[in-house]
Structure 1
């Protein structure tokens, strides 16, 4: 399953005109295996063990490219942008529980906006974010 996600992501990149590189594959593989939100610094530290001298700017640029292609989801935790691999197949609208200790995420397949829409009659909602932060069962 992990290999399939990696191959799908590489195919999406190729379809959008991005060249295949071992570094890009390594970034995607790292994110798929982590399966949680990680910082650009986390990715950089991993990549620097695999590819000595890789620049932080290169990592950040690649993460932003992957986000633009909708291969990554992002969130802001503790004032820092974090990245998480998202499945390449159609992903329904969802939200997350995020463990504040280990970073593990769980998808929540309901949206509280249904409740708020009733209270905001006449307003035009342009977007929203909803995340639940806490400790997962392993970190309690």
Structure 2
């Protein structure tokens, strides 16, 4: 997803454009991989004196709910990244060191769904963690 697409989604869903929201989204368009609220707060601290974690988290969760951002839990902490914009179902490899991601095109549910006869599977998540070539 590009910055202009994210801002358009925000507008189409009836949310107000602010420079702060644009700067949050700019941070994620410039970063390649998952980042924490602390990473974002450090990025924005010089420009927005007194910016609180509450404001950061509120916007991060709003953007996630609007499918502008994706989130995952790494080492007990929520991490966010710009939605990769794939229309097809997919999963990710996530580097523990730098947070970069790589798309996994195969879905394990295609193989294990047969183990759940009579069950209704409503959703699933599959991620692989390790180190990318640059971090090894």
Equivalenced residues, count: 136
Partner of 1:94: 90
Are 1:12 and 2:6 an aligned pair? no
TM-score (norm 2): 0.94
Q: Gaps (5+ residues) in structure 2?
A: none
Runs of 4+ in 1 over 2 A off after TM superposition: none
Structure 2 residue aligned with 1:127, among 114, 123, 129? 123
Taking the aligned partners of 2:33 and 2:27, their CA distance within structure 1 comes to: 10
Taking the aligned partners of 1:29 and 1:18, their CA distance within structure 2 comes to: 17
Partner SS for 1:93: coil
Partner of 1:35: 32
CA contact (8 A) 2:36 2:80 kept: yes
Taking the aligned partners of 1:93 and 1:49, their CA distance within structure 2 comes to: 38
TM-score (norm 1): 0.91
- Check 1:129–1:90 CA distance in 2 against 1; reply closer, same or farther (3 A cut): closer
Partner SS for 1:52: coil
